Amino acid sequence: MSRKLITPPAAEPILLADAKLHMKAPASATEDSLVNLFIATGREEVENELRRALITQTWEKYLDRFPEGIELFNPPLMSVTSVSYVDPAGNSQVLATTEYIVDNKQEPAWIVPAYGKSWPSTLDTINAVTVRFVCGYGAAGTDVPKAIRSWMLLRIANLFKNRESVVMESGAVNVASLPATFVDRLLDRYRISPPL
């Protein structure tokens, strides 16, 4: 199985002004590009940590054949755009939506054959099945749960304050501090278990 980001998020969950307000950063625009970098880094870090998509984005999942059920990563699932495959004759086909059911009641979501249906045969080749889907909480930062956004603000502030992996304090070398464990607990209810 492989995956590819087709359409990245069009926005970030945290606005530059909100990050600067949280960090009590000066109104100067000289470091705005750096703060924007930290915002994007914070989003990527939390998406990786939670195995979720925050802002609306489109992905494709590639499989060599149809499994019993297709697990979709990066919840929450917004929609399935298409399920396509290469038939045994080598032709590309798009599966009708009546041929499968999307179970988005659980996270991650699954796609299974509709009742009384079965998956079609595919050509014995790599990436014979392609699933395109849209995931995320929504198009705006305010669609993202507050606890996740709060964690991001704390992480962004930490990156802003500790710009090196090692900092000097009172003449001694210390590893730059990361957010405390209790801060990471903000994310606990949004974590997705690793795949089986």
Instruction: Note the pLDDT of residue 134.
Output: 98
Q: What is the pLDDT of residues 161-171, one digit of tens each?
A: 876 665 555 55
Round to whole Å and give the CA distance between 137 and 145: 8
- Residue with more model confidence, 100 or 186: 100
Instruction: Note the pLDDT of residue 98.
Output: 97
Q: Residue 108 is encoded by which pair of tokens? A: 């991650």
Band (10; pLDDT cuts 50, 70, 90) = very high
If DSSP codes are grouped into helix, strand and coil, which group holds residue 10? coil
What residues have CB less than 8 Å from 48, skipping those under 6 apart? none
Instruction: Note the pLDDT of residue 165.
Output: 61
Most confident residue range from 4-18, 147-161, 176-190: 4-18
Sign of the torsion formed by the C-alpha atoms of 186, 189, 82 and 143:
negative
Domain ranges within the chain, ordered by starting residue: 2-54+140-190, 57-135
> What CATH code is assigned to 2-54+140-190?
1.10.3230
pTM greater than the 0.85 cutoff: no
- Residue with more model confidence, 192 or 93: 93
From the CB of residue 104, how many other CB atoms can be counted at a distance below 10 Å?
Answer: 19
